[in-house]
């Protein structure tokens, strides 16, 4: 069993909100696109392209035949120059993040009490430091892995994916910047694509680039319980909560070199 790694770069066309947490009235976005969000986007688009309603079945096929890294915002289509890590956070947030305030109306003149809220997003254009500079388009860079038995027409839908939340308002639209390129590295880290899942080796002192199962991993950073929402055939939209996984968050620094398996939904576990 083998996998093939492709570097992919999307151009962000509209605001992008990857649900994270709420602080007061602010709905914060994650500063990257999770593997779960990519899985959901591919599952939705491939199911619709096939004229099917079997989202569960197609989602299982995506889990088995495709694997994902997280996507990171960048001002360059071929590399990530500014990471959302603590030592670069202020510059990252200024460059890539914005917010949108809205409220529900009780009637034609009055806002509904307690409905004012603000939604943070990754912007499709940067906020430049110099006022006389033109805004720079924002790209989302990452990797897609395909199993040698893959029959999904994943390339055909890359220009029609919609990521994250607030999609009914047109948020999360992307287009492919260039054709996927085969790569033997992943964000500069070594890859092994010969096993049942892709494997990535992270050197000592380097950052984890996805949520990573905290068990048996020595790292410095933040741990969080990772929970996702899914839609079941017998429940409403997003009503199913996945079992919480205790993970190191992206940006945590390894204290010793480790090799990880890239699991379904982009989660890393000890190889």
- Stretch 93-113: mean pLDDT, rounded? 76
Count CB neighbours of 221 within 10 A. Answer: 18
**Domain layout of the chain by residue ranges:** 3-270
Say how far apart CA 245 and CA 267 lie, in whole Å.
10
Structure tokens at 86: 């603590």
Say how far apart CA 93 and CA 83 lie, in whole Å.
10
Say how far apart CA 181 and CA 5 lie, in whole Å.
8
Q: How many helices (H) and strands (E) does the chain have?
A: 3, 22
Say how far apart CA 117 and CA 130 lie, in whole Å.
30
The pLDDT assigned to 233 comes to: 55
Q: What is the pLDDT of residues 110-158, one digit of tens each?
A: 656 555 779 999 999 998 766 667 889 999 999 999 999 999 999 999 9
The pLDDT assigned to 229 comes to: 66
Please give the share of the chain, as a percent, with pLDDT higher than 90: 80
pLDDT at 72 over 70: yes
Say how far apart CA 227 and CA 267 lie, in whole Å.
12
Nearest-5° angle of CA 24, CA 27, CA 31? 125
Whole-model pTM? 0.92
In this structure, are residues 207 and 253 in contact, taking their beta carbons and an 8 Å threshold? Answer: yes
Phi, psi of 266 (to 5 degrees): 85, 5
Poorest-confidence range of 83-97, 134-148, 222-236, 248-262? 222-236
Give the long-range contacts of residues 89-93, CB within 8 A, separation 24 or more: 92/31, 93/31
Mean pLDDT of the chain: 91
- Stretch 43-59: mean pLDDT, rounded? 94
Say how far apart CA 128 and CA 226 lie, in whole Å.
33
Using DSSP bridges, classify how beta strands 229-230 and 212-213 pair: parallel, antiparallel or unpaired. Answer: unpaired
pLDDT at 166 over 60: yes
**Burial class for 101, CB neighbours closer than 10 Å (0-12, 13-18, 19+):** exposed
In this structure, are residues 14 and 135 in contact, taking their beta carbons and an 8 Å threshold? Answer: no
Q: Work out the pLDDT band at 243, boundaries 50, 70, 90.
A: confident
More confident site: 196 or 101: 196
The pLDDT assigned to 60 comes to: 96
Q: What is the pLDDT of residues 201-229, one digit of tens each?
A: 999 999 999 999 999 999 999 999 998 76
More confident site: 227 or 161: 161
CATH of domain 3-270: 3.30.70
198: left (phi over 0), alpha (psi -120 to 50) or beta: beta
The pLDDT assigned to 117 comes to: 72
The pLDDT assigned to 25 comes to: 87
């Amino acid at each position: 069993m083998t996998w093939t790694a492709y570097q992919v770069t999307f151009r962000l066309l509209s605001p992008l909100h990857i649900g994270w947490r709420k602080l007061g009235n602010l709905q914060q976005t994650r500063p990257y696109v999770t593997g779960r969000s990519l899985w959901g986007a591919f599952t939705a688009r491939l199911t619709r392209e096939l004229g099917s309603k079997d989202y569960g079945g197609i989602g299982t096929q995506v889990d088995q035949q495709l694997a994902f890294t997280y996507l990171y915002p960048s001002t360059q289509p071929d590399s990530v120059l500014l990471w959302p890590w603590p030592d670069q956070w202020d510059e990252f947030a200024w460059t890539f993040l914005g917010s949108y305030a809205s409220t529900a109306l009780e009637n034609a003149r009055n806002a509904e009490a307690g409905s004012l809220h603000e939604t943070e997003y990754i912007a499709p254009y940067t906020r430049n430091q110099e006022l006389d500079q033109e805004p720079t388009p924002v790209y989302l860079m990452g990797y897609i892995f395909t199993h040698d038995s893959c029959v999904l027409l994943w390339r055909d839908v890359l220009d029609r994916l919609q990521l994250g939340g607030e999609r009914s308002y047109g948020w999360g639209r992307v287009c492919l910047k260039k054709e996927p390129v085969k790569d033997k590295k992943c964000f500069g880290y070594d890859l092994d694509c010969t096993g049942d899942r892709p494997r990535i080796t992270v050197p000592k002192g380097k950052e984890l680039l996805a949520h990573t199962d905290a068990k048996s991993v020595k790292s410095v950073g933040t741990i969080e319980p990772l929970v996702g929402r899914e839609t079941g055939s017998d429940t409403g939209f997003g009503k199913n909560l996945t079992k919480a996984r205790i993970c190191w968050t992206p940006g945590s620094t390894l204290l010793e070199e480790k090799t990880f398996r890239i699991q379904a939904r982009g989660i890393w576990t000890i190889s």
